[in-house]
Each structure stands twice: as C-alpha cells, then as structure tokens.
Chain A
Amino acid sequence: MSNILVVGKPNSGKSLLFNRLTGVSQKVSNFPGVTVEIKSASFRKHQLIDFPGTYSLDPITKDEQIAVDQFVESISNKTVKGVLCMLDSTRLERSLVFALQAQKMALAAKVPVMFALNMMDDIERIGESVDVEGLARDLSAKVFPISTRKRQGLDQLSDALDEMASKPATFLPVESLDLDFDHIAKAHELHRVYGASVHKLLAQQNKLDSFFLSGVFGGLAFVFIMLLLFQSIFTWAVPLMDGVEAGVAWMSDLVSRNMSDGVIKDFLTDAIFGGLGSFLVFVPQIMVLTFIIGLLEDTGYLARASVICHRGLSKVGLSGMSFVPYLSGFACAIPAMMAARTIASPRRRLLTILTIPLMSCSARLPVYSLLILVLIPPIKLVGGILDLRGLVFFGLYMLGIVSALFVSAMLSKFAVKNEEDVPFILELPPYRLPSWKPLLQRAWNSAKAFISKAGHVIFAVTVIVWVLGYFPNGAGNLDNSYLAMMGKAIEPIFAPWDLDWRYGVAILASFVAREVFVGTLGTMFGIDGADENIAGLAGNIQADGLSLASGMALLVFYVIALQCASTLAVMRKELGSNMIPIYTFIGYSLMAYIVAWFTYLAFV
C-alpha cells in the first residue's frame, strides 16, 4: 500500500482537492480549522490522506496536535511514499512557514515532497502572477499551479502524484539539500522574491470587513443574519413540507382503499403512514437548515461572527471560537463537539462541549414544528414579514442558546477551574461566493441521512410501539392495549404538566432518538383513529385537545433534555471521561423536567 499525505496551512483548499481527486465528500468550508480528523480515500492505486490544517509543527490547538502527531508518526512509516504540501498562493508566506518545516522533516526521512500552489484563479483575477519556476528551483521540488475550485491543473498534478507514489526515489532532490535554515526567514524571502502582490485582494476583503466588523452595522448585520437563518427554516420549507404531507396522505389513502381490512392494513396505515410518514414531512426543513448553514460557511462570514461574539462569549467562560461549533450544533451535536477541537483553551473547549447539546439540533426540528403547528395559530405580524409560528420557533432556538450561556456561566463560576487562559488568534479568510453545487449536494445528503435514520432506529421503535399499542384488542382499542398498561404506570411522572400516558410513552421512547416522539404519537393516533391520518398528525392532536400549557411544557422539555446516546458517546471520547457524560445527562434531564414544569405553571 502506498500513502500520500496532503498537508498544509488551514483553509488552503486541501479537503477540496482531496474530494476532487478521490471523489469522496469530505467537508469543505471557508474557515480555518474545518478538518479536525485524518481522513483517507483511494486515489488511483494509492491512498490519499487529508490532514487538518496547521500553521506550524508546533501545535497550539487540538486539531493541530492531531495533524502534527500523525504527520510525525506517518513520515517514518514505510507505506508513506510522498507528501503533497498545499500552498495558498494568496497567502504564500504563511503557507510556506509550515510547508518548509514539513519539507525539512520529510526529506530528513527520505520521503519526497511536492507542492501544489492553489487558488491561482484568485491571483489571475487581480492580474497578478507567481514565479512558479523560481519557486520550484529554490524549493528543489515540483510546484504545480492549480485552481482546485475551477479544476485547473489537476490532471498534471494527479499524474505527478501517481508517479511520485510509484517511484518515490526519483522524486528526491539529487544533491543533498542544506536543511539547516530558519523556515520563517526563508518563507519571508521566498514570498518576497517569487510571490504575487495581493494588495487588491486584501483591499476587497477590508472593504467588506469595515462593514461587517463595524460597530452598529456589524451588530445589526449579525442579528439580521441569525434571524433570517431561523425564520427561513420555518417559512422556506413550508411548500415542500406541504408537498410531502400530501404525498404521504395520497399513498395512505390509496393503500387503505385497495386493501382488505385486517392487521396488515392497520399496520401500514398506522405505523408506516401514520408513524414514519408524519416524520418524513420534516425532511425539507432539515435540507433548508443544512443549506443555510453551508451558505454561511462558504462566504467566510463565520470568522467575522466569531470575532463579534468573542467578548460576549468570554464573559460566560466560552470563546469566539465556540461560535462555529455552536452553529454546527444546530445541525447535529456530534460534528459540533469535534469542531470544538479548534478551541485552544482546554477550559473553554470543555465548557463549549458541555453546552453544545443545548443547541437545538435537527432531530428536535420535527418535534418543534409539530407542536407549533398544533399550538400556535398562523398569525401574520408586521404586515406579513414575520409570522407568529416563525417567531415561536426562533424563540425555542433562543431558549436553547440562552440556557447554554447560562449553564456555561454557572459552571465557569462554580465548577470548572479557571486555569491560565490562552489568547484569541484567528485568521480571517477571504470572502467568497458560495459554490452552489456542493451546497445542494450537502443539503441532499442531510436529507438522505435523516431518511436512513428513519429506516432504522425510528422504524424499529415505531414497530414496537405499534405492536404494543395494537394488541391484544386491535384497532381502536389503544386504551386497553399492552402499551396503555405500561404507559399508565409512568403516567404520574408527566401528570404535573397535565399530559396523559400517551405523551409519557412518546417522551420516554424519544430517549432513543428525539424524532421518535413524532413517529410514536403518529402511530398511537393512527391506532386510535383507524385511517383518519389524512387530516395529518397535527390536526389529530389538535382535535384530541392538547392544551397550550402542556404543549409549551413539552416544547421546553425538548429544548433542554439531552436525549441522544451518540452525543454522550462522542462527549466521552472528546473529553476522555466516563463520568462527565453521565453527570451531564442527569443534569440536563432534571433541568428539563423542572423548567418544563415552571413553563406549564406559567401558561396554565
């Protein structure tokens, strides 16, 4: 086996190149520190390995540590046949500081190195150029000018990589190089002699920054962008959701008309259409959410948002670097916790990881949407620009964020030791126009992941709930079923919020996965109401008479409770502690229960 390592400065385009050469879809985003794990995939007869970016071989954050440790370990490994060092031609000096260090270490271990000079499209756009031959001569290595984004120069690079990995010895410099140089000074010199002048690019960037980072406008822009994010999840997805709902209803209707009555028909209409179907309605929202987060990541705005938030987040023990993990927490807590590796301070990283579960992840979306449809009337506000449902939805996300800040502040004050702190240093990436195709691809992938989860976990729970709810007495007899027997035993737990046993069962089942709440309720209402699913689950719950106070208590419970085993497992791995996830789980469960109770009392 022959491995080629792809290393370089953060945000230089390593992962995009990796994707182009291997055909996989590793996450690419316009922010330094996106890749936080080593990832490998096959390229022709070889393996290409994508590394987290790092500014030097002396790491200060956990993602850099992973890159450096792995690089140092790999370089002496016999299977490593070459190193591809990514250089960002618009940030040549910064790129070379690391590249020269990496080259030194690789050559000392007799591993050949090749350079890719990326982002040449940007250099060409401002009518500049880089002296590639000169650079190659001074580096005693091949240098390939490329634009990964525009797919320019990739064929030559691929052929050369293939050749290097097949015949590594021929790619080593002929005469032995003087490796005893100061890499920082040499990087400066090489850039001065061969590099392009990037003043025009920086001037463009500064113009936008003086708006997005300015006092009043910067703050307003931040609030506006965040509001748009949440509002759009709710409003933009509506037509698509209506479409899915109509589709499910149509199929359910078709089946119930053409099948003779019996257990099979009941199972299909209750569990499949009623349970899983009511859950699928929310897929469009997941897609819109993923799309919008991706849009923000691509533009380069996230780095600015991190700067704007830094002081505020510092006050509660977090950091501006917590912003990106928090934002990805709206999609899923698992990658979010891993993204926290870019936070240099161990204490701030710990607090970030502990509070990420309070960001409303996409698994809560179906629960929020369903209950909002049931409880909140569609009232238009401010001449139709906003609507009440969108606002309540935004309020739930805000409640999660505020709780996270509160928990972090409390822990930072009373529990987590205040060790020596580390400074905030963040490179501001250029502003870029988003690449639409990968964005749409990502939204589509998120939908697929959501649906495949529906196919496994949620399907299994739905089937169990249906069997327990259907037997021994069949359709329309939910109240005398096995499920009811069990449910009534736990009824007292949720009695203070005036919820009956069916909701109790749905809540407990959703400790397997939050979305199960919707499928479970859908199934139970299906069993009870035969094939009246056409009205939609929201309509059924409304007709059943869920009160505003109980519904709000449920919503608040879902904002806070940590009902996700995978999140706890990743927390355990990231923090290297068995006890912290257990305490966190108990803590959030109690907090959710109590705050929900107060909510009930406030609305009743």
Chain B
Amino acid sequence: MTNAASLWNIEQGDTAVVSGFVGISTTYLRRMREIGIDIGTEVICLNRPPFSAPRQFQICDGVFSLDKEIAGSIKIMAS
C-alpha cells in the first residue's frame, strides 16, 4: 500500500474507499462531509478529462467535479 494514493490517482471507472484527509482546512473538510465524502465512503471515478482538468466523482447520489488540489488531499485505501 502506498501512502500517496489519493482520489486524484484512481483510474476512470474504479471505485475507492476514503481513508483520510491531508492538508484540508476545517471549512473544506466539513464541506467534503456534506457532499458525502467521509472516511469509509465509496467513491467512483467517472471521468478523467485531459490536461489535469477537474475530475468527476460519483458520491452516493451526486456527481461532483473536484480539482487536483482537493482530490489530491483525499486519501484512499488500497483495494
């Protein structure tokens, strides 16, 4: 298991389980929980547009675009 694995690294179509957050302010940590991203939740990577554009993740009943900055600070468990 690599420590560096984050939401930003998962491949299109893959599912990952959130294991923690690194370097996110409390405001955004709260917002992540509110949009459904919490430790233990499953997240599916739907799309990875080219040129490091924000990527699309399905979280429960919603689809959110997250940029590298925030997706990179959401750590995932190796599956």
Contact = CB atoms under 8 A, between A and B. Distances in A.
Interface in A288-322: 303, 307-308, 310-311, 320
Interface in A31-79: 55-56, 58, 60
Contact of A425 (B33, B46, B66): B66
Contacts of B62: 91, 93-94, 427
Contact of A191 (B33, B34, B54, B60): B60
A306 to B, nearest CB: 8
Nearest to A56: B34
Given A60-B27, A209-B56, A310-B54, A425 B35 contact: yes
A311 B70 contact: no
Nearest to B71: A423
Q: Size class of B's contact patch?
A: 20 to 34
Interface stretch (A164-172, A212-220, A508-516, A543-551): A212-220
Contact of B31 (A56, A92, A195, A424): A56
A552 B33 CA distance: 54
A95 B35 CA distance: 10
- Select the residue from A60, A91, A428 with max chain B CB neighbours within 10 A: A428
Interface string B4-43: 0000000000000000000000011011011110100000
B64 A426 contact: yes
Interface string A317-342: 00010000000000000000000000
Contacts of B58: 202, 206
B53 interface: yes
A210 interface: yes
B8 to A, nearest CB: 12
Interface in A158-214: 184, 188, 191, 195, 198, 202, 205-206, 209-210, 213-214
A527 interface: no
Contacts of B61: 90-94, 191, 195, 198, 202
B70 A428 contact: no
Interface string A408-441: 0000000000000111111110000000000000
A426 B65 CA distance: 5
A182 B34 CA distance: 11
Nearest to B69: A423
Contacts, number: 107
Main secondary structure of the interface of B (DSSP, over half): mixed
A463 interface: no
A6 interface: no
A568 interface: no
A571 interface: no
Contacts of A191: 60-61
Given A215-B49, A307-B53, A311-B52, A423 B70 contact: yes
A426 B35 CA distance: 10
Contacts of A215: 49-50
Interface in A105-152: none
17 contacts: A94-B35, A94-B60, A97-B34, A184-B34, A188-B36, A198-B61, A206-B58, A209-B56, A210-B46, A213-B53, A307-B65, A310-B67, A423-B28, A425-B66, A425-B67, A426-B54, A428-B56
Interface of B: 27-28, 30-31, 33-36, 38, 46-47, 49-54, 56, 58, 60-67, 69-70
Given A93-B60, A426-B64, 20 more contacts: A55-B31, A58-B34, A93-B36, A94-B35, A184-B33, A184-B34, A202-B63, A206-B58, A213-B47, A214-B47, A214-B49, A218-B49, A307-B49, A307-B56, A307-B65, A308-B49, A423-B28, A423-B66, A427-B65, A428-B56
Interface of A: 55-56, 58, 60, 90-94, 97-98, 184, 188, 191, 195, 198, 202, 205-206, 209-210, 213-215, 218, 303, 307-308, 310-311, 320, 421-428
